[in-house]
Chains A and B, each alone.
Chain A
Amino acid sequence: MVAHIELDLAHSYHANPQQDADYALLPLKMTFKAGGAYALLGPSGCGKTTMLNIISGLVQPSHGHLTFNGEDVTSLTPQQRNIAQVFQFPVIYDTMTVGENLAFPLRNRQMPREQIRQRVGQIAEMLELNGQLNQRAAGLSADAKQKISLGRGLVRPDVAAILFDEPLTVIDPHLKWQLRRKLKQVHQELKHTLIYVTHDQVEALTFAQEVVVMTRGRAVQVGSAEALFERPAHTFVGHFIGSPGMNFLPAVCTAQSLHIGASQLALPPELAQQLAGTTSLKLGVRPEYITVHAQPVAGSLPAKVLRWQDLGISGLLTTQCEAATVRVRLAGAVASQWQVGQTVHVQVIGSHSCFYENEELIV
């Protein structure tokens, strides 16, 4: 049965965790809806693999519990939880044919022969492996072997969830998009609960309906690709998603205005009210949403041009704005009209501006 998964737990590899840093996963509550496609995204050491291993049952959480469809599975093994897993590197039997490899998880569970044949055929067709069913796995490329591993993960119809741990690491970059497409199609067809660990933003944003962004043992945002890009809930998300990431400017809000370094910007009263009382405020704005002007405009700050990089189909302007480096992405293959050392005015207040108090989004 497809699992609705609830976590209410924490995990430490230390016997007596004393401080936040002792936790691989800080206390969290999280829901993975039945049939949803999720990605756990973050840099190495962020806790994403720990979370995956806790869901699969490879690791027992040190605190709290997790449920599958309301049933507490905290002390159950991966087999008892009925989880299928796909790892970074192909896990297949070289001496078997492609078809035998795909059938193996089903034979293990004594599925009737005819049913196995049908299911293997279905999965092979989905992954475009049907031409190779009778071929021995030994001679195949790393790509083809990993496709078989994916097939073995997907072949059991009755699993609670399928977990993927960076499954496209060994795939040639030019072929990755085709497997990403396969995975998305497979999800649409099979409607399993899929949880996918990766440190690659393209992988996560492309695959998942909901991306869980993690850093230092915390899930700082769960959201769609659009939400992570437009409204990062935490400065880490703003920084991590997008290339380059969001610009951040430390700011102080007074009655009517925003002070950034020596500059002062008038604020609409409503916004000033929302920001009143903040003590550790940052303005966040993405490089795509900043406009550059020769003269001051509403919501702009003076900035000194440090560098202009023409990237052929877009350009990247790097400026020094008060104490911060502010990057601006200019669309189109237009040569820059801005000179290094020149003072320009970067419009940082607009409909896409975000405000952070203690690194969390408030407006």
Chain B
Amino acid sequence: MTLKLEKISQTVGGQMHIYPLDLALAPNAVTVFLGATQAGKTSLMRLMAGLDTPTAGQVWVDGKDVTGMGVRDRNVAMVYQQFINYPSMNVFDNIASPMRLRGDKDIATKVKVLAARLRIDPFLDRLPAALSGGQQQRVALARALAKQAPLMFLDEPLVNLDYKLREELREDLTQLFEAGSGTVVYATTEPTEALLLGGYTAVMKEGRVLQYGPTLEVFRRPQSLDVARAFSDPPINVLQARAMAGSWQLDDHSALALTQINSDAGHVQIGLRASALRTDMRTGDVALKATVQLAEISGTDTFVHLSCGSMELVMQKTGVHFFEIGAALQVYLNERDAYVFNDEGKLMRLPLDMAGAN
């Protein structure tokens, strides 16, 4: 199925919630809406689903104008942050309800297959309230899938779960999306979640879609500093650089070259992902004398917060590492790994090994 937004906008009480935008969803694939809270992800989803009517513009589904058509007349399924189920129905009846509405045959078998895929088959005769949060959200997902709608919306479905449950359910979702043939829209605030889901990503900020494309493409080639910021966790390091006598000077007075960037620009902003800062030196590196603010340990990675003069930086290292608060630490960066943005935050140059290659 195809879904296209044409010059869609939404104003609520004089306030612009969605600025005029065009967007055509990749059919039969996952599109991630990535952005901070209040970026407009939910508003845009509600317009797409027919829960709200746009102030201006059209919604096209399979070539048909469905603007103003309510959600009940549209074939869509939704899953929310909150675990929404019918509280007085057991798990079986919850999952079966869309099938019954449709008048399906052989409901018992279909419910069992779906429940097994979401690993809630042992709980079919329980009420939702007797289940853990993760299981309740699995029931809501199973019911949404039972609807077999060609268009499914998931609005931060994992945000209220502990991280281990989130990890498990995300993996199950990835498998379901791979196997399914529907068009899925999935809202999240987490860059890593977008990367794990793959597909396509629309980065949103303050009611605007900043960039839309295949997820990895958007991650690797952000066209603006805003997109790079929204799509970096830990946050991307942003260094101010001034043209000085044939090189570029950072706030701590260290200097580096920036290939392809004309010094006429005078002032540029350098974006360096946390993984591009290192403690081992390589050829052509620039050294920064930094002070450790904190080492955050996730197990898989260590995120080292650093200060360097007026600059605040984050370095990502794989594995568990200890750094004393206040310790001096020499860290290295290479201009090859740098994104360069102009004063307005528009991309001037990609990291060198990304230019041209895919």
Contact = CB atoms under 8 A, between A and B. Distances in A.
Interface of A: 43-44, 174, 177, 180-181, 184-185, 188, 199-202, 205-206, 225-226, 228-230, 239-245, 288, 307, 309-314, 316, 329, 331, 333
Interface string B172-184: 0010001000000
Nearest to A241: B299
Contacts of B216: 310, 312
Contacts of B174: 307, 309
Interface in B290-328: 293-300, 303, 305, 316, 318-320, 322, 325
Contacts, number: 88
Interface in B134-164: 162-164
A313 B325 CA distance: 26
A226 B320 contact: yes
B247 interface: no
A229 B297 CA distance: 10
Give the 4 A-B residue pairs with the shortest CB-CB distance, closest first.
A181-B294, A205-B297, A242-B299, A313-B275
A184 B293 CA distance: 10
A309 B296 contact: no
Given A230-B320, A311-B192, A313-B275, A181 B299 contact: no
Contacts of B98: none
A229 B299 contact: yes
B171 to A, nearest CB: 8
B255 interface: no
B162 A199 contact: yes
Contact of B162 (A43, A177, A239, A333): A43
A205 B298 contact: yes
Q: What secondary structure prevails in chain B residues at the interface with A? A: mixed
Given A312-B219, A312-B220, A242 B294 contact: no
Contact of A200 (B163, B178, B220, B294): B163
Contact of B325 (A44, A174, A181, A316): A181
A184 B162 contact: no
A284 B195 CA distance: 27
A201 B303 CA distance: 13
Given A201-B163, A205-B298, A243-B167, 13 more contacts: A44-B132, A180-B296, A202-B296, A205-B299, A225-B299, A239-B164, A243-B163, A288-B319, A309-B196, A312-B219, A312-B220, A331-B318, A333-B220
Interface string B63-96: 0000000000000000000000000000000000
Nearest to A242: B299
B273 interface: yes
A229 B319 contact: yes
Instruction: Name the interface size band of chain B.
Output: 20 to 34
Nearest to A201: B299
B198 interface: yes
Nearest to B235: A174
A202 B220 contact: no
22 contacts: A43-B164, A180-B296, A181-B294, A185-B325, A188-B325, A200-B163, A205-B297, A205-B298, A205-B320, A206-B297, A229-B319, A230-B320, A239-B164, A241-B299, A244-B167, A288-B300, A309-B195, A312-B220, A313-B273, A313-B275, A313-B316, A316-B196
B300 A243 contact: yes
A354 to B, nearest CB: 15
A82 B132 CA distance: 36
A311 B299 contact: no
A242 to B, nearest CB: 4
B293 A181 contact: yes
B201 to A, nearest CB: 11
Given A177-B305, A240-B164, A311-B192, A225 B297 contact: yes
Nearest to B233: A173
B295 A206 contact: yes
Nearest to B297: A205
Contacts of A174: 235
B196 A202 contact: no
Nearest to B234: A177
Interface in B100-134: 132
A331 B299 CA distance: 15
Given A44-B162, A230-B320, A201 B325 contact: no
Contacts of B163: 199-201, 243
Contacts of B319: 229, 288
Contact of A202 (B162, B178, B235, B297): B297
B300 A202 contact: no
B27 to A, nearest CB: 22
A241 B298 CA distance: 8
Nearest to A240: B164
A312 B197 CA distance: 12
A237 B322 CA distance: 20
A312 B195 contact: yes
Which of B167, B220, B299, B300 counts the most A-chain CB atoms under 10 A from its CB?
B299
A184 B325 contact: yes
A228 B293 CA distance: 23
B7 to A, nearest CB: 32
Q: Most chain-A Cβ atoms within 10 A of its Cβ — which of B163, B196, B273, B305? A: B163
Contacts of B299: 201, 205, 225, 228-229, 241-243
Contacts of B273: 313
A313 B216 CA distance: 10
**Which of A177, A230, A244 has the most chain B CB atoms closer than 10 A to its own CB?**
A177
A350 to B, nearest CB: 15
A264 B318 CA distance: 31
A174 B235 CA distance: 9
A202 B298 contact: yes
Nearest to B274: A313
A11 B131 CA distance: 24
B276 to A, nearest CB: 9
Contacts of A188: 325
Contacts of A200: 163
